[in-house]
Amino acid sequence: MSALWELSATEIAARVGRRSLSAEEVVRAHLDRIAALEPRVDAFLHLLPDRALAAARGLDAALATGLAAPPLAGVPVALKDVLDLEGLPTTCGSRILEGYRPPFTATAVARLEAAGAVVLGKTNMDEFAMGSSTERSGYKKTRNPWDLERVPGGSSGGSAAAVAACLAPVALGSDTGGSIRQPAALCGVVGLKPTYGRVSRYGLVAFASSLDQIGPFARTVEDAALVCSSLCGWDPHDATSAALAAPDFRAALAAGVEGLRIGVPWAFLEKGVATGVLATFREALRVLEAAGARVVEIALPHAPHAIATYYLVATAEASSNLARYDGVRYGLRVPAPDLERLYGETRDRGFGAEVKRRIILGTFVLSAGYHDAYYGRAQRVRTLIRRDFETAFAACDAVATPTTPTTAFRFGEKTEDPLEMYLADVFTVPANLAGIPGASIPCGFAGGLPVGLQILGRPFDEETILRVGHAYQQATDHHRHRPPLAA
């Protein structure tokens, strides 16, 4: 019989809903698991055991009165510390937000709690979501459960590691250039970035407002689909929220992939992909073909320019968004003899090196005389990338690539070379620039480390990428493998 922390979100919700298992039992099992493994993994920044147990007891009491079970009844969830919970710390992995407690709860979090989910705590991340390894947190480094000497990916590394280590069956992250899909791949879990506008960003601390999107981590596609049905939908608090109701994503899974066309941009994959990763990707395509899909070649001619485009658009938006952290209104304040030095010294001490680098770059590309040459041109290339996908989706139903060019790298391996670190997101960034949905599905191992299969879909067609991912998981068992951590 499986330990409670091994159960999927779907299984937990079903058993708690029919009262063969209590939400309190589930939460206690996960808190015990966290107590045993957290010192080795360092996935969490803030644990909320009392709050979680109180919520679980409240749900159990409500179910005992005959209340209909909500869809996520008793499912423990971890939150990336870029999502607000009223009255509780939100640090974004940065020292500049020490002591900040938001006066409201993020819509995405409120929807999960309304659906019966129980928040366990807030997870570690690269500072302000700027990083690909979770080495850039202002507090600590999260470790990859598959190899504690390697990074979990980023920026949502704490959430990915928590799900991989079975500290929570579900976690939320944010994806600006791959920050859900890339760590999902490196940690061997499912990570879904919905279409831009599908999930409300109200209560998500902004990095790059035209790129950021909230999404789930889970160990199965079915769990990700279950969570998304509660997570998605229009929100009047978010002007970029799409006025679309959330479908029943799980209902789409049974359709399978028979007859679906999977497009592969082989020219884009010619350089920089590790041999083991590429071999694992090819095998994943063979599995999908055996399940009834048809693999076709497509072209994404402007995708090689995506990294350069992203680091102009994202840094420009970050420069604007992070101007609010000045030591006056909230967070860290460094005493200084005058206002100008208060601004400068607070920001100097509060921000880490990577955040400063991106603020400086973003400020430069927005400055007089350079705006059109850099930021304006980047926006035009962004349009070309989106049009590439529109053309591709005329010839296929979904696009497949490896999620990352390599498996998880060792701590310190890329920190001295920012460009090398940025290239870890070479396959994930195009989807954010185009605003389309994407998922990473565990598809095997290279050198004993997880490899991710990325599936991209048309705007607001999460159902198709979830169908592909679920069909793949039905035909394989990679998602059932667990990291070699002691219980």
pLDDT at 486: 54
pLDDT at 419: 80
**Neighbour tally for 459: CB within 10 Å:** 18
Contact 58, 16 (CB under 8 A): no
Three-state secondary structure string covering 205-225: CCCCCCCCCEEEEECCHHHHH
The HSE-up count of residue 31 (CA atoms within 13 Å, CB side) is 19
Does 80 qualify as catalytic in the annotation?
yes
User: How far from 346 is each of 38, 130, 184, 327, 341, CA to CA, in Å?
Assistant: 31, 19, 34, 6, 8
Could you report the per-residue pLDDT of 279-300, keeping only the tens digit for each? 999 999 999 999 999 999 999 9
Inside any domain, residue 355 = no
Inside any domain, residue 358 = no
Could you report the per-residue pLDDT of 403-428, keeping only the tens digit for each? 999 999 999 999 888 888 888 999 99
Q: Which two tokens stand for residue 294?
A: 């048809």
Q: Angle formed by the axes of helices 9-17 and 221-231, to 10°?
A: 60
How many structural domains are present in the chain?
Answer: 1
pLDDT at 416: 83
Inside any domain, residue 379 = no
Q: Which domain holds residue 434?
A: 4-300+387-480
Inside any domain, residue 396 = yes
Average pLDDT estimate for 189-203? 98
- Is the full-model pTM beyond 0.95? yes
Would you state the torsion angle of the CA atoms of residues 352, 355, 360, 366, taken in this order, to the nearest 10 degrees? -160
Average pLDDT estimate for 372-392? 97
Catalytic residue among 80, 122, 193, 414, which?
80
> Can you give the CATH number for the domain in which 180 is found?
3.90.1300.10
Q: Across all residues in the chain, what is the average pLDDT?
A: 96
pLDDT at 271: 83
Does 155 qualify as catalytic in the annotation?
yes
Inside any domain, residue 350 = no
Average pLDDT estimate for 371-375? 92
DSSP 253-320: GGG-STT-EEEE-GGGGSSS--HHHHHHHHHHHHHHHHTT-EEEE---TTGGGHHHHHHHHHHHHHHH
pLDDT at 41: 98
Inside any domain, residue 340 = no
Average pLDDT estimate for 322-330? 93
Is 60 exceeded by the pLDDT of residue 57? yes
Burial of 476 (0-12, 13-18, 19+ CB in 10 A): middle
Tell me the C-alpha distance between 387 and 465, whole Å.
20
Could you report the per-residue pLDDT of 92-139, keeping only the tens digit for each? 999 999 999 999 999 999 999 999 999 999 999 999 999 999 999 999
Q: How confident is the model at residue 254 (pLDDT cuts 50, 70, 90)?
A: very high
Is 70 exceeded by the pLDDT of residue 487? no
Is 90 exceeded by the pLDDT of residue 12? yes
Contact 51, 121 (CB under 8 A): no
Is 70 exceeded by the pLDDT of residue 1? no
pLDDT at 270: 82
Could you report the per-residue pLDDT of 77-88, keeping only the tens digit for each? 999 999 999 999
The HSE-up count of residue 341 (CA atoms within 13 Å, CB side) is 4
Tell me the C-alpha distance between 49 and 94, whole Å.
23
Q: Which of 51-55, 80-84, 271-275 has the lowest mean pLDDT?
A: 271-275
First vs last Cα of the chain: how many Å apart? Answer: 15
Inside any domain, residue 72 = yes
Chain-centre distance for alpha carbon 413: 22
Percent of the chain with pLDDT over 90: 95
Inside any domain, residue 215 = yes
Residues 6+ apart with CB under 8 A from 426: 272, 306, 307, 405
Average pLDDT estimate for 209-219? 98
pLDDT at 451: 98
Catalytic residue among 132, 133, 137, 155, which?
155
Average pLDDT estimate for 153-168? 98
Is 70 exceeded by the pLDDT of residue 395? yes
Catalytic residue among 137, 156, 174, 179, which?
179
Does 440 qualify as catalytic in the annotation?
no
pLDDT at 437: 98
Contact 400, 454 (CB under 8 A): yes
Strand 214-218: give its sheet, edge to edge.
Answer: 44-47, 118-123, 76-80, 170-174, 214-218, 190-193, 438-446, 449-456, 398-402, 261-264, 294-297
